[in-house]
Amino acid sequence: MNPKITPDHLARSAVVYVRQSTMSQVTGNLESQRRQYDLAGAAEAVGFASVTVIDDDLGRSGSGLMQRPGFERLVAMVCSGDVGAVYCIEASRLARNGRDWHHLIDLCALAGTLVVDPDGAYDPRLVNDRLLLGLKGTMSEYELSLMRQRGIAARDSKAKRGEFRFMLPPGFCWSEADKVEIDPDEHVADTIRLVFAKFRELGSARQVFLWLRSADIKMPVVRRNVEVCKLVWKPPAYHSVMQILHNPLYGGACGHGLSRGAPVRPAASGSLATNGMCCCVTIILVTSAGRNTRRIRSSCSRTRI
């Protein structure tokens, strides 16, 4: 047993924090899950009075951009003084940002709680251990930035070659030749055409939404579950209508990396900030000589939101 784990620590409980960043990791990377859950057995073997496993954050990123109820529960338990040690498979499981990491380490130092990983046990009250924990947290944060940078560079490279595949809006699908084609489901295509036809007729996105709701017409919505995209039919929603009307893909245009400029901010009235322009598109399927071709007629009209 590590000499830093004293009878005072063993008299309190141990907490095993389990986290994976995405749902694809939760469903696919089961060995990492198993290794993290096995830490509960390691804590029991050391002799802790009780062991609590916190796995509320499975599928949640530790970058600090989303809420983590499991991490908040861990912080609350450390603050209560009832936790003798926090077990994690590595520093990145606890946090991927310096704010959360150093906040937790400060609280562990005040409560006399150890941080334990497969490399050893660390006491935040000791200078050398505090230095090592600080380096682990910094490297974890840097690793996230490095992975993001590599991922963005790979994505941009594929986009330049025209090989980048992304989730298409309702009405389009990827062909076997990796080309964007109109969805062969006529029900989906006709519903999208109806939205644009009603927009030209009524001149207002809100009026289109109200008409669709009064006519009890369901809208196609693309749902993504991990790597699988599924088309479902749902009652019309205002944001769904707006997404269709503002999507340039329906006008035959596809842009990548266009969000690097100034972010879109909410208008003063609380409605979505918009330039007042909406691309209105009519998609016409023409059957000729046994093959399908398409003609796209685009026009821009001002919308009243």
| Residue 291, pLDDT above cutoff 70 | no
pLDDT at 227: 60
How many CB atoms are located within 10 Å of the residue 175 CB? 9
List C-alpha distances in Å: 204 to 4, 137, 161, 209, 303: 69, 51, 38, 9, 5
Helix and strand numbers (H, E) in the chain are: 10, 11
Per-residue pLDDT at 75 exceeds 90: yes
- Whether 265 has a pLDDT exceeding 70, the answer reads no
Contact assessment for residue 48 and residue 84, using Cβ atoms and an 8 Å cutoff = yes
How much is the pTM? 0.60
Determine the Cα–Cα distance for residues 145 and 97; give it in Å rounded to an integer.
10
**DSSP code of residue 108:** H
Tokens 């939760």 belong to residue: 26
84 has pLDDT over 60: yes
Candidate list 21, 92, 140, 240, residue with the active-site label: 21
Among this protein's residues, is 61 annotated catalytic? no
Of 295, 248, 242, 298, which Cα lies nearest the Cα of 271?
A: 242
Q: ∠ at Cα 253 (250, 258), nearest 5°?
A: 115
pLDDT in tens, 123-161: 999 999 999 999 998 888 888 888 889 988 888 888 787
Residue of 87 and 174 predicted with greater confidence: 87
